[in-house]
Structure 1
Amino acid sequence: MWRILEFWQEEDAVGVVEIILILVVLIGLVIIFKEQLVSLVNGILEKITSQSNSI
């Protein structure tokens, strides 16, 4: 029974490590592609603004 509990606790730690690694990768991608993301969002907002004026 003790081994099952130990395994369960060990798996929880793996989940936390996975989440941290995913966050690190996402933050890295945002840093690398910051300029492209900003221009994409600005383009979308400009398009929304211009089309909302025609309504």
Structure 2
Amino acid sequence: MPLLELSDQARRSDGYAAFVCDRLTKELQNPLTEPSSPKICGSPEPPGGYSALYA
């Protein structure tokens, strides 16, 4: 289960930088990035772009 392994690796790390540099493997990155991908959440930009908000 990727989330259990991810949390285990985070607990074993000396800090954020050590976790990202030494323990965050490609297999563990996917559960972090996939839920926030544009395919799932859509674009962070509003329809018409940010300039449409200030027109």
On whether the aligned pair clears a TM of 0.5, the verdict is no
The structure whose Rg is larger is: 1
Q: TM-score, normalised by structure 2?
A: 0.31
